[in-house]
Structure formats: structure tokens, C-alpha cells
Amino acid sequence: MIYFASDIHLGSGDIARQRATEQRFVKWLESIEPTAEVLFLLGDIFDFWFEYKRVVPKGFVRTLGQLAKMAERGTRIVMLTGNHDMWVGKYLTEECGIELYTTPQTFDIKGLKLYLSHGDNTNIKGQPMLRVMNRFFRSKSLRVLASWLIHPDLFLRFGQWWSGSSRKAHTEQTDLKYLDPLIEFAKGYYEQPIDHFVFGHIHIPHQRDNITFLGEWSKAASWAELDDNGIITLKTK
């Protein structure tokens, strides 16, 4: 079985909420471990992640331990970064065996050509400020400069504040109109034939035609499954 999840936002909210979300996610990981051939994590697994050369954010040990255990037992774990965890380095790969990508990717799985993306940086031509911000925050030069000049405690505090503001805006979205830019992108994608598109970011679990939008995890587990018959199904629990 192939599994897809996104927008867990580990580390968001107060301590009780952080622990409840992580317990929910780890319990789900344990439940799929016997059948998971590939696990795709489509971004914003962490509410904020900035990786220094020798420093990573504290916490998440239950999640990281379970992911490492699954990777060691043969599950292929693929993570595409989102707008909250784009500042990854080598740690998650070297420590947990996670295959990392910072841009949308296509994969041939179960006879299907899949286009996978977090979705935050897709079809934003009409949003010049967002384009500038995305380019700014994804700058490798900025990342190196910040890691040299800003103490981890200060930068992580800022990052958690910024991530909280961004996440709140998406969590409160319920109107399906917010899916329109990604639907438009998928329907106009002609670079190569794609059987199915999977996105995160919007926090609204939904399926339309050959497009799946993954939900977020603040209140319930939300994921998708691809079975041996080539059918992708949304699940919540």
C-alpha cells in the first residue's frame, strides 16, 4: 500500500495540543507500518523547521524514531518540503532515512504517473508579493546568512511565531474556492501525461477528477491511500 499525508504541523499550538497531534500521527504511522511500501509526506510535517549545521529543533523524537524504524524495515519514506519546513538539510536523511525533495516531483507508482507537491508555490503568477516572499525565504544565501548571524533560540522563536500566523490562515479556510488555483494548474499541466495529482497546503481534504487534496491533522488523522488497483482514496479517523 502507498500512503500520503501532509500538514501535520508538529510543534504547533500549546504543549497539550502538540503532544496530542504527535500521538495521533505516531499511532497512525504504527498502524500502517506492516503494509506501507512507500510513505509520501507532502510538506509541513513540522510547523517550523530550520536546520543549522549542528543544531536541529528539539522535540519530535517519537515521530523521528518511528520514521527511522519504518525506513530501516524497508518502507521507502519520501518527503517533499512545504512552506513551513523548507529549510531542511541532511539530518532527516542521515538520521531517519528520509528521501528529501524541495520541489514538486513526479513518480511512477503502481502503474500510475503521480505529480506530488505541497502546493504552496504553485500557480501564484497573479500574486507578486507571494512570489517575492517565496523567492526570499527559499534563498540559500539567506539561509546561510541566518545560520551564521542569528542564534537558534531567537530564530526558532521568530519562526514559530511566523508559522503560527501562516497556519492559522489556512486552517480557517473551508471554502472549496481555495482549491481553484491548484485545480487550474493540474488541468493545464501538459509537460507530460499525469494520471493523478496530490497536493497538501490548503488543509481541505477533497477529491475532484484526478486530483487529491490532503487534509491537516490538528483534530483528526487525515491521509490518502493508493491500492494495488490504482485507486487513491481519502481517509480520516
CATH code of the domain in which 84 resides: 3.60.21.10
Cα–Cα distance for residue pair 176/165, rounded to 1 Å: 21
Cα–Cα distance for residue pair 167/163, rounded to 1 Å: 6
Q: Where are the beta strands (DSSP E) in the chain?
A: 2-5, 38-41, 76-80, 99-101, 105-109, 112-117, 196-199, 206-208, 211-213, 222-226, 232-236
- Block residue for cell numbers 509520501: 40
3-class SS at 10? strand
Mean pLDDT, the chain, whole residue set: 86
3-class SS at 93? helix
Cα–Cα distance for residue pair 225/18, rounded to 1 Å: 25
> Is the pLDDT confidence value at 109 over 90?
yes
Provide the total of helices (H) and of strands (E) in the chain, helices listed first: 7, 11
Who contacts 4 (Cβ-Cβ below 8 Å, separation ≥6)?
39, 40, 42, 116, 198, 212, 214, 223, 224, 225, 226, 232
Q: How many domains does the chain have?
A: 1
Phi and psi at 2, nearest 5°, equal: -110, 135
Cα–Cα distance for residue pair 83/111, rounded to 1 Å: 30
Residue 136, domain extent: 2-236
> Is the pLDDT confidence value at 218 over 70?
yes
Cα–Cα distance for residue pair 135/115, rounded to 1 Å: 22
> Is the pLDDT confidence value at 230 over 70?
yes
If one counts every other C-beta atom within 10 angstroms of the C-beta of residue 25, the result is: 23
Residue-wise pLDDT tens digits, 169-187? 555 566 788 899 999 999 9
Looking at residue 152, what is its pLDDT? 66
- Block residue for cell numbers 519530535: 60
Residue scoring higher pLDDT (132 or 74): 74
- Block residue for cell numbers 504552496: 120
| Residues 212, 141 contacting (CB under 8 angstroms) | no
**What's the average model confidence in pLDDT over 63-81?**
97
Find residue 213's DSSP bridge partners: 199, 206
If one counts every other C-beta atom within 10 angstroms of the C-beta of residue 137, the result is: 13
> Is the pLDDT confidence value at 224 over 60?
yes
Name the pTM for this structure. Answer: 0.87
Looking at residue 52, what is its pLDDT? 78
